[in-house]
Structure 1
Amino acid sequence: MKQLFIIFLSVFTISCQSQNKLKLEELETIPGLYSTIVLQNDTVAFRKFYNGKDDDTYFHIHSETKSIMALLIGIAIDKGYIKNVDQFISDFYPVILDDTSMLKKQITIRHLLNQNSGLAAIEWPNAMCDQWLNSPNPSLFLLSLPMDAVPGSKYSYSTPASHLLSGIITKASGMETAYFADKYLLNPLGITDHKWVKLRDGFYDGGGTAVQFKTDDMLKIARLILNKGTHKGKVLISQKYLEQVFSKDKKIKAPWGLKNSNYNFCWYTTEYESYEVRYAIGYGGQFIFIIPALNTAIAVNHDTRVSNPNRQSDVFLEKSFPVIFKKVLAASGRRTSEGE
């Protein structure tokens, strides 16, 4: 029995050590940090929870939901439920055809993905966002408002506009968004549990007001991106679609995030220390990062009940991400990007 205990203790110790090859003591003192997991070369190099949280904790991912919705749109296109990203949203919301605005009839799925639909520019802390959320039908509430700009002409971040993507997936596939996600994305990745609620229009939240995932599960999504849409030999999202998502040709300058970031299809990209970084952001410091050249994926969650969640997010990007990146770079034995 004693020998078995020693063997178990040894295996447990080795397992813990393998998950913390990276030393990130600098993260210990961050008040609102809840979790950080780093995957490098398909091995967990660092994994730690803070402030009483653990691997069974669900975290509100906020606008990372938008990035997941973009992946689901890609899957719907791959499977033939949606023609392409340039399909008019009036195909799914025919109420637009009865609207006097000709501009609304020009809105495409691409416009929703790129936050330049021209729909009424409402986002928190705008009080109208609360009216939208609490209305009997949030989708129709937004579509009934006057247009703010010509579709494609102006970037205007909008959770209400992103929520329309959920309705499109449901209407196109005949499946509720959460079920569609489970069937084609989440369950194949081994994600079997999450908290996802419907808004009052009957569609599952598509913008990030009420979706919760575990950090490990968000890492699985980052890992899928790292592996170009393939998991265990099965293509879940086509590489063709992901190339559109992370295209360097179509750039919308992001108003926040890492320095010099661009926004496309609800994802962010930038060149950081000569390395491409792809990432998703959720309010208050919810992140997943993908660094293809370093074969690295990172998932991070923070507390959003702090006095200034937006500043907390900025501080992580300014101070903590550079520390993580530097140690990942050192562990890879590289100092510059490939080919330099």
Structure 2
Amino acid sequence: MKSSYLPTTEWQAVDPATAVIDAKKLAEVELLIKSDYGNINGIVVVRNGYLAYEKYFNGYGPDDTHHVASVTKSVLSALVGIAIEAGYINDVDQKVLDFFPEYIPIDAGSQKREITIRHLLTMTAPYPFEDWQEPLDRMCMQPDWVKYTLGMLGQKGQIGAFKYSTAGAHLLSAIITRSTGKSAREFANERLFKPIGMQEIPDQQMQAFAFDDLFGSKVRGWVKDPNGNSTGGWGLTLHPRDMARFGLLYLNHGMWGTETIISKAWIEESTEMNPYHYGYLWWLREEDGIFAYSAIGDGGNVICCIPEKDLVIAIASQFMMNPGDRWTLIKEQIISAVEGE
């Protein structure tokens, strides 16, 4: 059954059988979460646009927001695509330094000058740290995060090699602000969240820039740096249903009803498989004939989109080190429940 409606206001829930999902298999998910995935606070499964499964744990409910960590990056990717389509940014090959003329040192190396938005989106810009060993705490102690990150950009390594950088994603947020005149939060509310029925993110004042304010228990709304830039690589709080709405928008090729929110071409570019299995701030996976693209954040926050099955799985989690692999849960318990269709 293909959806003929969109959940701009309220989701239309159906029983799993109506969504062509094995209800018995899906019922095992709750038991498995309680036994093996104790830090999952909420899970939403959308099939053919309908809400087929929704459960909450650890005292949480549908009205609670969760810090989704690096899922924020995939939202930033969407905003870049929207800004390009609207003409605020030329294209993905526009140079990063074009947006920060006052930060460019006279002796900026040629490599720094060649780095583009595409390199930030695909994590193929060089930085002076080893892959997966980014000293993010150093950036967070600076009075000017953008200046600090631009200073690191292009140092060591070569353009084109994959190196995961949360600071690089923060530059994209600053580029959104430089090009549109609005923070990423404001731009997202206006051009992405509100049009598809997601709750708008309020402006929360930062009381401090300590760990809890930036990453922990005091995270509210959308974290911002000392100069007011929304964090590009983390810091966004969302409801699980709104996480699923965002995934559904991508499954619908950027269309929400008759309105184009994100161009189909952008979504195709963002999720096209490549040797790094990483698109425009989306993780890509192809396994046993199933292609999936996912927004993934620390602790096990996930928006997993599986086009072939018209399936979106949104999982909101409490941060913990080494959480259970969400893909195992998704593949073995949820995808397998629709295998027999």
- Shorter-chain TM-score: which interval? 0.7 to 0.9
**Corresponding residue for residue 172 of structure 2:** 165
Report the structure number with the largest CA radius of gyration: 1
Report the secondary structure of 2:149's partner residue: helix
Deviation readout 1:18-71 (Å, 9 max, x if unpaired): 699542343332311111111011111111011111111111111111111011
From 69, 73, 77, the equivalent of 1:66 is 73
From 278, 299, 312, the equivalent of 1:284 is 299
**Corresponding residue for residue 324 of structure 1:** 334
Q: Give the unaligned 5+ runs of structure 2.
A: 1-11, 202-220
Matched, 1:183 2:190: yes
From 265, 275, 291, the equivalent of 1:240 is 265
Q: Which has the higher helix share?
A: 1
Q: TM-score, normalised by structure 2?
A: 0.82
CA shift at 1:192, angstroms?
2.3
Report the secondary structure of 2:110's partner residue: coil
**Corresponding residue for residue 160 of structure 2:** 153
- 2:123–2:163 Cα contact (<8 Å) kept: yes
- 1:120–1:142 Cα contact (<8 Å) kept: no
Relative CO higher for 1 or 2, CA cutoff 8 Å, sep ≥ 6?
2
- 2:240–2:316 Cα contact (<8 Å) kept: yes
- 2:240–2:315 Cα contact (<8 Å) kept: yes
Q: Residue type matched to 2:118 in 1?
A: R
**Corresponding residue for residue 200 of structure 1:** 226
Q: Structure 2 CA distance, aligned partners of 1:146 and 1:227?
A: 35
Q: Residue type matched to 1:211 in 2?
A: L
Q: Structure 1 CA distance, aligned partners of 2:153 and 2:74?
A: 26
Alignment: residue pair count = 301
Report the secondary structure of 2:295's partner residue: strand
Match runs of 1:1-340 below 5 Å: 17=15, 21=23, 22-23=26-27, 24-25=29-30, 26-29=32-35, 30-94=37-101, 95-96=103-104, 98-121=106-129, 126=134, 128-145=135-152, 147-149=154-156, 152-194=159-201, 195-208=221-234, 210-248=235-273, 251-253=274-276, 262-304=277-319, 306=320, 308=321, 311-313=322-324, 315-319=325-329, 321-330=331-340, 333=341
CA spacing shift, 1:99–1:169, aligned 2, 3 Å: farther
CA shift at 1:233, angstroms?
1.5
CA spacing shift, 1:56–1:130, aligned 2, 3 Å: same
Report the identity percentage: 29
Q: Structure 1 CA distance, aligned partners of 2:126 and 2:267?
A: 25
Deviation readout 1:98-131 (Å, 9 max, x if unpaired): 34312111110000001111133378765x4212
Deviation readout 1:156-205 (Å, 9 max, x if unpaired): 11111110001101111112211111111010011123311211132111
Q: Residue type matched to 2:326 in 1?
A: F
Q: Structure 1 stretch 27-36 or stretch 287-296: which is displaced more? A: 27-36
- 2:294–2:302 Cα contact (<8 Å) kept: yes
Q: Residue type matched to 2:34 in 1?
A: E
Q: Structure 1 CA distance, aligned partners of 2:291 and 2:272?
A: 12
Q: Residue type matched to 2:337 in 1?
A: K
Q: Structure 1 CA distance, aligned partners of 2:282 and 2:120?
A: 13
Report the secondary structure of 2:278's partner residue: strand
CA shift at 1:220, angstroms?
0.4
Q: Structure 1 CA distance, aligned partners of 2:288 and 2:53?
A: 21
CA shift at 1:246, angstroms?
1.6
CA shift at 1:16, angstroms?
7.7
Root mean square deviation of aligned Cα: 2.2
CA shift at 1:241, angstroms?
1.2
Q: Structure 1 CA distance, aligned partners of 2:120 and 2:13?
A: 44
Q: TM-score, normalised by structure 1?
A: 0.82
